[in-house]
Structure 1
Amino acid sequence: MGERNLIAERDRFAARHPESRHVVNGRDWGVIRVGHSGPALVLIPGTLGRADIFWQQIAALSGEARILAVSYPASGGIADWAADLAQLIADAGMQGTTVLGSSLGGYLAQYLTATEPALCGGLVAANTLASVQGIDQMPPYAMDLVTTPIDDLRAGFEAGLSIWQAPDHPYRDLAPLLLQEVRGRIPEGELRARLQALKTAPDLPAQSLPHERIFTVQSDDDHLIVPPMREGLRAALAPVRAYRFRTASHFPYVTRPDAYTALLREILGLSAGQTIWPAGEESLS
């Protein structure tokens, strides 16, 4: 990635576009809304990220699309959150929106588009999974996510990210950003809710969106979504296009921002501008 201060970049964006608070069905969501015209896009982060984790895509597309990015509340689960997001989309007048979710957000996005097809016009399931079967046997989900001390939960994430801090690690610039999220930028209640939501997630209903409006995004070096999970997602969704990064980690919207923006331009039907999705081996049809 080179030497970038991602925290400073993100913080400059956050100062210009702070989260507003929206209480839906008694749950307190953080929301960033930008753009006044063009196709609608909803962005849902994973466990380690707030709405502004997509700052590079939001900044690049804000003049051409209507964007709603969210941060999770401190209560509720997948079904609750899908209902809340449906209300947020309707209230924003963004019917027909394309919904992109990454990791945990990708599971939620699949549930949302399957249960609210009248509101959703496209699905981008990114760096995510199609089934949570067996996840309760894997750390940290195997832990009691309600009573385990929060410092122990945070320590597990920190241990995993410690390797990324090595000087020669390709994603060393990303580690401080994610560690800041782990160490309190995501408050305790929100972090517990995110973990518990995936651990207790319902099975996904069958998708009712048309085949040509379903897309996946995956990374060959995603250490969290291993190859069988990637294959399972493509088999479950049969996407019209599967975008594939050879090297991008679990967080390609941060590590490969231009290419990520380019795939969103393609999906939203926007002009390519200066960014074009890489041709050849990184693009699966």
Structure 2
Amino acid sequence: MKRTYLKRIFISLIIIIIGIYLIPAPKTNFFKLYPINDHYSQSLKNFQAKPTKEVTINGIKWIYYVGGSGSKTILFIHGMGGAYNLWWQQIIKFEKSYKVISYTLPEDINSLQKTSEGILKILETEKIDKFYVVGTSMGGYIAQYLVSTIPDRIEKVVFGNTFPPNNLIAKENKTKSKLLPFLPEIVISKLGEKTLDKKIIPAAKNSKLLKAFLVSLPFSKKQFINRYNIVIDKFTMSPTKYNIKRIPKLIIESDNDPLIQPQLQQQLKKLYKNASVYTFHNEGHFPYINAPKEYNEILWQFFNTENAFTAVEKTIENYFEGRKDANLKQLQLAFSKKANLYTSQNNNILIIPIENYYKKVRLNGVQQAKTSILNGDITGNIANFKTNFEYPKKSYTDYLTLLKTDKGWEIISKTFTKTN
């Protein structure tokens, strides 16, 4: 009798455990949690009424939004718990002047490579070559991966409230990550709500808007685990490579971010030494939601600031094409009237006035050559660039010094040597 009773209790406990395990995370509605009919709720309602698009990559359906019709495109990448509409306040602002894209990462995606494949397919579908990127948290990490893998397609990038490639996150969450697959979805959801109430919302000045929105975001255990795997997925970043260095970068951070350790914030700024940095004060991890006006203004200024590297490259391109085509007018657009050329001849310094260089170009005529920028640095109004001319039977390396004048960037000196 006792054995039968214990067996029934055991079976009951198993049923209860299975029942708890199968209980999905509760779904909530933003407009019920945030019944205030203000600008924020009305703008979100209008935005969510707009149609989205679908594209299938390797059997996985991606949902994304595309709007606007500007000549430049901004790709918005959400964080670990987000979706495409996380950026509604930025999209509404920027689609008036830009083409904008925002997607929802499918729950089956669990690596940076698979994420990149989906993004590239969306860009291909929308016939977009070069673009700006704004990524936050996990999205900022994905943005860094895109910079490392397709730098020539990215014109500007924003790393918002994010972290660099690191071992710290995986190390600190080693035990938790092993337990996650065995926890019921509802338990993971409740733990997330606890973090929300104790850390995230207080850091954002107890924003009711932020709380209602975050709680209403779609959530599943599978999504959470796979997105965590993306966060700890490793890749190598080489920020000193020219095609990466030349991309203007903006780091947005908060001085009280409860989800990004100060150590990782410092590592991010150390990795991207040439990046601009904007620090929010007491706005937490989601300033683009609870401080949208300030956030949008920062983005606007960044996107509308000239890329100094692009400006210098235009001058160097005039030098390249002018020399190859023996086009003196184009060369004169590149060089200052006071420029000199320097090289070594018989172990002595040889100084060539710019007019003598023009005479030699006129004499030698059109040349077949492959040209390239090998590296470059810009500090204020000074630039130093290393370039290469590869002719059929010889090659030259140039070190160019440029100054920014009222006419734009001008080459004031060229030091060159034969390298082959």
TM-score bin, normalised by smaller chain: 0.7 to 0.9
Structure 1 residues 180 and 162: CA distance shift in structure 2, 3 A: same
- Residues 1:232 and 2:267 aligned together: yes
CA distance in 1, matches of 2:91, 2:278: 19
The range that moved more, 114-123 or 204-213, is 204-213
Contact 1:46-1:105 within 8 A present in 2 as well = yes
Following superposition, the deviation at residue 157 of structure 1 comes to 0.9
CA distance in 2, matches of 1:18, 1:249: 31
The range that moved more, 86-95 or 34-43, is 86-95
CA distance in 1, matches of 2:201, 2:230: 32
- Residues 1:124 and 2:158 aligned together: yes
Helix, strand or coil at the partner of 2:196:
helix
Structure 1 residues 247 and 166: CA distance shift in structure 2, 3 A: closer
Q: How does 1:234-273 map to 2 (within 5 A)?
A: 234-269=269-304
Structure 1 residues 238 and 81: CA distance shift in structure 2, 3 A: same
Following superposition, the deviation at residue 52 of structure 1 comes to 0.6
Counterpart in 1 of 2:129? 95
Task: Supply the AA of the counterpart residue of 1:116.
Answer: I
RMSD over equivalenced CA pairs, Å: 2.8
Helix, strand or coil at the partner of 1:243:
strand
CA distance in 2, matches of 1:206, 1:255: 33
Structure 1 residues 9 and 232: CA distance shift in structure 2, 3 A: farther
Counterpart in 1 of 2:313? none
Helix, strand or coil at the partner of 1:143:
helix
The range that moved more, 100-109 or 163-172, is 163-172
More strand per residue: 1 or 2?
2
Structure 1 residues 27 and 169: CA distance shift in structure 2, 3 A: closer
Counterpart in 2 of 1:52? 85
Unaligned runs of 5+ in 2: 1-35, 306-379, 381-420
Q: How does 1:54-203 map to 2 (within 5 A)?
A: 54-76=87-109, 77-139=111-173, 142-144=176-178, 145-163=180-198, 170-173=205-208, 174-181=210-217, 185-199=218-232, 201-203=233-235
CA distance in 1, matches of 2:164, 2:202: 35
CA distance in 1, matches of 2:44, 2:175: 30
Unaligned runs of 5+ in 1: 271-284
Structure 1 residues 169 and 218: CA distance shift in structure 2, 3 A: closer
Task: Supply the AA of the counterpart residue of 2:191.
Answer: G
Per-residue CA distance 1:147-186 (angstroms, 9 max, x = gap): 43212221221111123698997133111221222xxx23
Structure 1 residues 6 and 73: CA distance shift in structure 2, 3 A: farther
Helix, strand or coil at the partner of 1:22:
strand
Counterpart in 1 of 2:16? none
Q: In structure 2, which of residues 61, 66, 71 is the aligned counterpart of residue 33 of structure 1?
A: 66
Following superposition, the deviation at residue 265 of structure 1 comes to 1.1
Helix, strand or coil at the partner of 1:209:
helix
Task: Supply the AA of the counterpart residue of 2:122.
Answer: L
Following superposition, the deviation at residue 220 of structure 1 comes to 0.5
CA distance in 1, matches of 2:224, 2:160: 20
Q: Which has the larger radius of gyration?
A: 2
TM-score, normalised by the number of residues in structure 2: 0.58
Q: Identical aligned pairs, as a percentage?
A: 20
Contact 1:89-1:119 within 8 A present in 2 as well = no
Higher relative contact order (CA 8 A, sep 6+): 1
Following superposition, the deviation at residue 131 of structure 1 comes to 2.3
Contact 1:95-1:118 within 8 A present in 2 as well = no
Task: Supply the AA of the counterpart residue of 2:267.
Answer: G
TM-score, normalised by the number of residues in structure 1: 0.83
Following superposition, the deviation at residue 267 of structure 1 comes to 2.2
Residues paired across the two proteins, number: 266
CA distance in 1, matches of 2:260, 2:222: 25
